[in-house]
Amino acid sequence: MSAAESASHVEPGPPAIGRRPRGFLLVVSGPSGAGKGTLVERLLAARPECVLSVSTTTRSRRPHESDGVQYHFVARDEFERRRAAGQFLEWAEVHGHLYGTPRRFVEDQLSEGRVVVLEVDVQGGASVRRAHSNAVSVFICPPSVDALRERLAQRGTDTAEAIEQRLSNAAGELAQLPEYDYVIWNDDLEPAVARLTAIVDAERSRVGRLGSEP
C-alpha cells in the first residue's frame, strides 16, 4: 500500500459508538408481601433510566395511597371500558379486583430507550411475558412462609382472613418461579437491591439491545 493510499485508509470505528440501548420491559413479580414495592422503589432511585408503569386498578385506595402514584384508581365499569378499547398492555383479576398496565405509557417510554418497570402479580407477569417475549422477568421470593405472614401482618392493610387468602395464593405463585429469568431471595434488603440493580445493568449492556444513534 502506498503512502497516499495508507493516508486515505481509515478503519471504521466500533459500531456501538453513539448508540444507546433500546428500552425494555422489566417485570417484577412475586407473592404479596415479598417486598416488590420496596425493591422497585430503591431501583428507581438508583437508576434514572428506569421508570415505573403505574397500574390501573378497581380496588379501593388505602389511606397511605394517592391516585396516580401507587395506582390509578377507577370504578369497575371504567376499567372494563378501557379494557374493551384495548388500552391495557395486560390485565388480570386478583383477589376479586381488576389490575391493568396502561399500554400507551409503556410504548412511549420504550421508544425513548427507557427501562419500564412493571411491578405486577404473578398472573400479570405471565400475561406480559406472553405478549412480550423479550421482557426481562424477575421473581421476588420471600425467605419463608412465616416471614411472608409476618410482613403481611405488619402492613396493617389486610384482615386476618385476607392474609390467609394471600398466603394460600402464594403457594401457587411460588410454583411459577421457574418461568422467570431471574430470582431474588429478599431476605436482606441491601443485597437484594444490589442484585436487582445488577440485573438491570447487565441487561442494558447486551449487544442485542444496541439501537440506532440518538
State the cell numbers at 93: 383479576
What pLDDT is recorded for position 150? 76
What pLDDT is recorded for position 95? 79
* 98 vs 159: CA distance, rounded Å: 20
- The distance from CA 5 to its chain's CA centroid, rounded to whole angstroms, is 54
Three-state secondary-structure class, residue 203: helix
For 174-196, how does the pLDDT look when each residue is reduced to its tens digit (9 = 90+)?
889 999 999 999 989 999 999 99
pTM beyond 0.75: yes
Secondary structure letter of residue 78 according to DSSP: H
- Domain spans of the chain, in order of start: 22-204
Beta strand 136-141 with 88-94: parallel, antiparallel or unpaired?
unpaired
The pLDDT averaged over each successive group of 10 residues in the chain (214 residues) is: 51 59 93 88 97 95 89 97 95 88 94 94 88 93 77 71 76 89 94 98 91 54
Q: In 132-174, where does DSSP find H-type helix?
A: 145-155, 160-174
Spatial CB neighbours of 104, under 8 Å, sequence gap ≥ 6: 87
- The distance from CA 73 to its chain's CA centroid, rounded to whole angstroms, is 19
Angle at 33 between CA 121 and CA 46, to 5 degrees: 80
The domain over range 22-204 is classified in CATH as 3.30.540.10: no
Spatial CB neighbours of 118, under 8 Å, sequence gap ≥ 6: 25, 26, 27, 28, 53, 55, 101, 106, 124, 125, 128
* 58 vs 80: CA distance, rounded Å: 10
Start-to-end CA distance of the chain, whole Å, equals: 37
What pLDDT is recorded for position 2? 54
Rg (CA), the chain: 21
What pLDDT is recorded for position 17? 62
Sign for the pseudo-dihedral over CA of 73, 98, 167, 39: negative
What pLDDT is recorded for position 14? 55
For 78-100, how does the pLDDT look when each residue is reduced to its tens digit (9 = 90+)?
999 999 999 998 888 887 899 99
| H or E element in which residue 102 lies | strand 97-102
What pLDDT is recorded for position 158? 67
Angle at 72 between CA 50 and CA 115, to 5 degrees: 15
State the cell numbers at 212: 440506532
What pLDDT is recorded for position 1? 52
